[in-house]
Amino acid sequence: MTLQNASDADRARYQFQILFDTAAELSGARYPHKILEAFLLSAQGGIGARGGFAAILGRDGFQLMTRSSLSKSLTPEYAQVLREHLDALGEERKSSFFVPSLQGDLCPGKCELLLVCPLDDGQDGVLGLEESLTGQPYDENDRRLVAGLGTLFQTSLRFSLYAARVELLNAELSKRNDTLDRQIYHLSALGDLSREILRVDLPEVMDTFLLTLLGHFARPRGLLLLQDRASGCVFESSKGLEAKNEFSQQETERLFFQCLAGVREKHLQPLQTEPIDDLRGLEGIELGLRPDKGYLFMLRENMYGVLLLGESLGASLPAEDGLLQAFVSQGVLHLKNADSFATILSLNNDLERQNEELRRTIDDLTRARDRISMLEAAGRRIAGIVHSKAESLARVRLVDFLLIIVLSLGMALAFNEQNPRGIVLVEPPGPEIPFVTLDQALSLLDTEDALLVDARPREFYEREHAARAVNVPAQLFDLVYMMQMSAEDPERPIVVFGRSVSRRYDQIVAAKFLGRDHERVYIVKDVPPLALDGGSQ
Amino acid sequence: MRFRDILTHPLLSLLLRLYLAGVFIYASLHKINFPAEFADNIAGYLIVPHWLINPLAVFMPWLELVSGLFLLAGVRVRAASVLIGAMLAMFTVAVTVAMIQDTPIGCGCFQSVGEAISWWTVLRDLVWLAMAAHVYFYDRLVHLDRLFMLKPEELGL
């Protein structure tokens, strides 16, 4: 009994020693396969197993396994069987445990012990141990040792996996940091470019762009050309060229043709930048530099540009290409903005000029309108005058009467003055002829046998006259006097009568008698013819 | 065409105007040449004061002539027709008064002798007076004083 106890104590001490050694060994192990190997060897040695295997079972199969005679037996099919069996146990798997149901014939190498150590993320450490070298079945101490080793294995493997994951994360983080640093550098460089290039004058933008580009990428030489195919204008900016070139139109055409031949995409779109892959076509052109990098871009329709960079002072890094491409794209965008600004400026100038012309035109039109208004007013005034004149022609006016009357009067007076048969307008006063009353006249007729003369025209005389009256009309005085009165005594009184409202026949005839040397001529007026003798026709 | 349209037609008025012009021009010619005879004719009517006989005998034939010429030429037609109408009215009144008073005188309308006044003379003067009124109201063709006058509508304003 004492011997048995001593043997058990030795065995326990041995197992503890194994556990201690294994723990010491695993504490320095970082890699899972080392841990797996240490675990398998410790377990195999600790219980004297003939052989075994150790593996990490993932979701889809074995992820890692030790090299052993049973490695080939760890097939995916077995991994699937093992996984299904473990999943059937549920989620309550924390510490390591034996799986008796899969031991023996179901296990590769007919392992008598199958230990599963749950790990994280659905992984499990699996340890299989063949029969003992002694042929004896494993007892409880052996199982306890293997379980203890499993716990160590589980812990170590977890730490190892954690460490591996941390390293992986660190590596990935470092990589991301590098990427981020590069991106920050790129963005910073692009920001610098944007700040430097923040101008609107196209030649200035070209110079700044080229200078910034060359500075960032340590390239002492560069050439930037823009060609406006519509207007034929060529804009050039160059730095550090061996010889300053003035590109003619033909050379520029040739340069762009060669650059276009060297790019992959021949049909450029506005703001598209294409690297010139094949720069050999430019060798025949005197550029003043030996181009190392080249880009062909299109600002807008009929506006192309080419950027040629000389060799770098330092070693060229592959990551530089992306930044260079970004630089060029950014620069092209600024060039486009500058070109657009120039276009806008030109349009503004045109607009300003057109505005000025429009203003002058408006002024001219305003003046013309004023003139037209004035002419219209004058026209209306003239029309009014003409209308008034036309109306006045149709209207009877006093001036029309005056015109006709004055014209008639003037011509009448003028003609009468020149007419040999003209008459005097106002009768001149004749000789003084005494008037007598009716009684005096009758007395003269009765007492002195005076001659009674009726001076009225014959028609009036014949209609009514005094019995003693002799008709001597004024118009026929000379004829009647010659025929009837030439023998009359000049001393015989003559009483003449006959006047009307319109004619003083008596006055005319009496004057004519006086002219014939008759001394006693009298006129009786305002008496009817019959009153002179009381007789009738 | 209605009768009223014919009666008021400007062409009829033009014909009447030319007729009246001819009558008055013809009537004035003898009187102008022989103003003394015309003065005696006027005096025969016994309605004009003696101091006005000679001026009237000198002036009236020329008024007839000028008015007739104005009618003929279409110058101041309405004023001329009014004056001719006034003279015709005056002649009508004078002849009417002479007819009523049975004054033994000749007409003196065209010649100094020959034509005696009658009611036919009055009627003729009234017809001529109506012609003058027609010319006044409806005559608007062949007016010399409008021949060179720009019409308002021709100004385009």
Please tell me which of the candidates B66, B140, B157 has its beta carbon nearest to residue A404.
B66
How would DSSP label each residue in A117-154?
EE-STT-EEEEEE--BTT-PPP-HHHHHHHHHHHHHHH
What is the interface size between A and B, counted as CB pairs within 8 Å?
129
Which of A140-144, A363-367, B78-82 is the least confident region? A140-144
CA distance A527 to chain B (A): 16
CA distance A279 to A262: 6
CA distance A287 to A309: 11
Q: What is the pLDDT of residues A120-134, one digit of tens each?
A: 777 888 888 888 888
Q: Is B87 on the interface with A (CB under 8 A)?
A: no
Q: Which residues of A touch B42 (CB under 8 A)?
A: 502
Residue A58 has pLDDT above 80, yes or no: yes
Would you say B88 and B55 are in contact if contact means Cβ atoms under 8 Å apart? no
Please, which residues bridge with residue A54 across strands?
Answer: A127
Torsions phi, psi of A503, nearest 5? -145, 140
CA distance A68 to A65: 9
Q: What is the mean pLDDT of residues B59-88?
A: 94
Interhelix angle A202-216/A140-197, nearest 10 degrees: 150
Q: Which residues of B touch A383 (CB under 8 A)?
A: 152, 155, 157
CB contact under 8 A, A502 and B47: yes
Burial of B142 (0-12, 13-18, 19+ CB in 10 A): middle
Both tokens assigned to A234: 């060529």
Please tell me which of the candidates A421, A425, A500 has its beta carbon nearest to residue B54.
A425
Give me the amino acid identity at B154: E
**What single-letter DSSP state applies at residue A104?**
G
Pair type for strands A451-454 and A469-471: parallel
Both tokens assigned to A128: 């299989």
Give me the amino acid identity at A340: S
- Partner A, chain B 108-127, Cβ-Cβ below 8 Å: none
Residue A537 has pLDDT above 70, yes or no: no
Q: Which residues of A touch B32 (CB under 8 A)?
A: 412, 415, 419
Query: Is B59 or A178 the better-scoring residue by pLDDT?
Result: B59
Q: What is the pLDDT of residues B9-28, one digit of tens each?
A: 989 999 999 999 999 999 99
Cα A192 to Cα A209, A215, A344, A457, B119: the distances in Å are: 10, 11, 26, 141, 130
Helices (H), A29-136: 32-47, 76-88
Which pLDDT belongs to residue A361? 94
Residue B151 has pLDDT above 70, yes or no: no
Which are the contacts of A285, defined by CB distance < 8 A and separation ≥ 6?
Answer: A251, A254, A255, A258
Pair type for strands A293-300 and A113-118: unpaired
CA distance A307 to A294: 5
Which pLDDT belongs to residue B52? 93
Give the global pTM.
0.50
Both tokens assigned to A329: 């794209």
Q: What is the mean pLDDT of residues A511-526?
A: 89
Cα B116 to Cα A452, A460, B32, B41, B88: the distances in Å are: 30, 14, 20, 11, 17
CB contact under 8 A, B58 and A421: no
Indicate the pLDDT class of residue A186, thresholds 50, 70 and 90.
confident
Structural domains of chain A in order of their starting residue, each with its CATH number: 2-168 (3.30.450.40), 199-346 (3.30.450), 435-532 (3.40.250.10)
Would you say B43 and A504 are in contact if contact means Cβ atoms under 8 Å apart? no
